[in-house]
Amino acid sequence: MRMTTPRAVIAPTIALLFAAGVAAQQDDQEWLRQCERQAERNDRAVFCEVRPVTLALAAGALDVDASPNGSIQVDGSAIDHVQASARIRTQAGTDTRARELAREIRIEARDGHLSSDGPRTRSREGWSVSFAVTVPGRADLVLSTTNGSVAVADVDGRIRARTTNGAVRLDRLAGDVRARATNGSVRVNLAGDRWQGDGLDLSTTNGAVRIAIPEDYSAELETRTVNGRINMDFPVTITTMGRRANRIQTSLGEGGATIRAETTNGSINLTRP
């Protein structure tokens, strides 16, 4: 028999937390709608909730850990503090049990660290906590998860992003950025006419890498794939090219900071935005 789905819940205080960031409110509401739509197709009871999170901007890097089953979304903005929300999804055999699992989930937010802890689950039960965070445009980040995606946009800083089973997406970043995936793709959209900062280092083991590079962009570009090809939809002058077209090193425009991309099993695609 199909279980009824508990109503999605968003905490009343979240409107106050995001009074200065309407876009964050809309993102949370859209997540709730998507969670509800997915619940309608599930043969188990599903409960969805968004909780506001208060987190001080620490002197060091903001550390967000969404393990084991959550995703991370970070957006830079013209603010001087951190805004965050925890997106909770539970699944169980009954509505009551799904709500009970959600109540037992704890959000840990202190000393610049954001993570979650939850209850033991029975057969065919589960829970996940994803984090949506808005930070100042200049911020240092350490982001990690096991089963989930990582997305960062409009941030300049020392950024370390890692996921085991999930995709990585980076948009309009600057600084010293390194991103790692094991089983998942990596997508990057560069902006401006050159990389501002130390450089960008990307890698995945099982997945493709796609980098959108604006016209007249300047950088040192290094790409390598073991089992795959490198595809470009614009001409470049190649300094070094490996056998089977699986390694390229070249200067774009006037050169500059190094943009490095590597995958073991997958293609590397260099495109225009």
The answer to whether position 141 is within a domain reads no
Q: What's the confidence (pLDDT) of residue 242?
A: 52
pLDDT at 14 over 50: no
What is the average per-residue pLDDT within 166-189?
98
Query: Which residues, listed in sequence order, are joined to residue 203 by a DSSP beta bridge?
Result: 180, 262
Number of residues assigned to the chain: 273
- 153-176 tens-digit pLDDT: 999 999 999 999 999 999 999 999
Q: What's the confidence (pLDDT) of residue 2?
A: 35
The answer to whether position 43 is within a domain reads yes
Using an 8 Å Cβ cutoff, are 32 and 44 in contact? Answer: no
What is the average per-residue pLDDT within 49-61?
87
Q: How far apart are CA 3 and CA 31, in angstroms?
A: 21
Q: Structurally, how many domains does the chain consist of?
A: 1
The answer to whether position 119 is within a domain reads yes
The answer to whether position 106 is within a domain reads yes
pLDDT at 96 over 90: yes
pLDDT at 140 over 90: yes
Using an 8 Å Cβ cutoff, are 271 and 211 in contact? Answer: yes
The answer to whether position 24 is within a domain reads yes
Q: Which domain holds residue 45?
A: 1-58+75-135
What is the average per-residue pLDDT within 38-67?
90
Using an 8 Å Cβ cutoff, are 58 and 93 in contact? Answer: no
Q: How far apart are CA 132 and CA 152, in angstroms?
A: 10
pLDDT at 12 over 80: no
Percent of the chain's residues with pLDDT above 70: 87
The answer to whether position 186 is within a domain reads no
Neighbouring C-beta atoms of residue 2, cutoff 10 Å: 9
What is the average per-residue pLDDT within 5-34?
52
Q: What's the confidence (pLDDT) of residue 16?
A: 26
The answer to whether position 209 is within a domain reads no
HEC-encoded secondary structure of 187-254: EEECCCCECCCCEEEEEEEECCEEEECCCCCEEEEEEEEEECCEEECCCCCCCEECHHHCEEEEEECC
pTM of structure: 0.88
Q: What's the confidence (pLDDT) of residue 24?
A: 39
Taking CA atoms, 134 is separated from 23, 69, 131, 150, 234, in Å, by 10, 21, 10, 14, 35
The answer to whether position 121 is within a domain reads yes
State the pLDDT confidence band at 240, using cuts at 50, 70 and 90. low
What is the average per-residue pLDDT within 6-29?
44
- Tell me the pLDDT of the chain averaged across its residues: 88
Look at 39-43, 157-161, 185-189, 244-248 and tell me which has the smallest mean pLDDT.
Answer: 244-248
